[in-house]
A and B are shown apart, each in its own frame.
Chain A
Amino acid sequence: GAVVSQHPSRVICKSGTSVKIECRSLDFQATTMFWYRQFPKQSLMLMATSNEGSKATYEQGVEKDKFLINHASLTLSTLTVTSAHPEDSSFYICSAPGGGLNSPLHFGNGTRLTVT
């Protein structure tokens, strides 16, 4: 079945540094990918929709200059958290649709970001 690979699974960084998270569709092409954020014991909140060949679409309240998204190819989307602060610590998870509108989203294993 469709597999989405997300890397790294865990990252600890110092405040003020930037962190890049990669999301790859391994056996299918994904013109669209979704980036979600999940706080402890909470649901998944959509941050942005990554579109291959065009700008990402950000949800209301998400700072596009802080969360840079690049969809470089049909199999790779990256999320860069710039100038990270402790409040950016969270679980970030990407996903991609594996087919038509009736197909499930396939999720990466997530990245746990801790900013110290």
Chain B
Amino acid sequence: AQKVTQAQTEISVVEKEDVTLDCVYETRDTTYYLFWYKQPPSGELVFLIRRNSFDEQNEISGRYSWNFQKSTSSFNFTITASQVVDSAVYFCALRSSGAGSYQLTFGKGTKLSVIP
């Protein structure tokens, strides 16, 4: 069985603060893929990043960075110098290769509010 846990339901930060969104996953497969999506108030899901289980390199993209640690089954997402436009619900998701399925298992999401 697969499971994604986002323990933080809601987070509020003041603009320009850094914020880290936590994601912990469970899977029995040795090959799997992790994703982060952003869902702004308008509702669409915006793909942010994908990470393969065999690639533990952390990644930075502008103000966004991701910390993947297999030892703790975590794939945390940090926004540096947050902006009001970052306000959204962020979902962490998992896909295992075992079943050969493309479907994603989503966490419950973390609602981020950036206060000006």
Contact = CB atoms under 8 A, between A and B. Distances in A.
Interface of A: 32, 34, 41-44, 46, 49, 91, 93, 95, 97, 101-110, 112
Contacts, number: 53
Contact of B91 (A43, A95, A108): A43
B102 A101 contact: yes
A43 B106 contact: yes
Contact of A101 (B45, B91, B95, B107): B95
Given A43-B106, A43-B107, A109-B44, A101 B35 contact: no
Contact of A42 (B43, B45, B108): B108
Interface of B: 33, 35, 37, 42-45, 47, 50, 52, 91, 95, 97, 100-104, 106-109, 111
B106 A44 contact: yes
Given A43-B107, A44-B91, A101 B33 contact: yes
Contacts of B44: 107-110
Contact of A104 (B35, B97, B107): B35
19 contacts: A41-B111, A42-B108, A42-B109, A43-B91, A43-B108, A44-B91, A46-B103, A95-B45, A101-B33, A101-B97, A101-B102, A104-B47, A104-B50, A105-B35, A105-B47, A106-B47, A107-B47, A108-B44, A110-B44
B8 to A, nearest CB: 13
A109 B43 contact: yes
A50 B43 CA distance: 22
B43 A91 contact: yes
A101 to B, nearest CB: 5
Contacts of B104: 34, 46, 105
Nearest to A101: B97
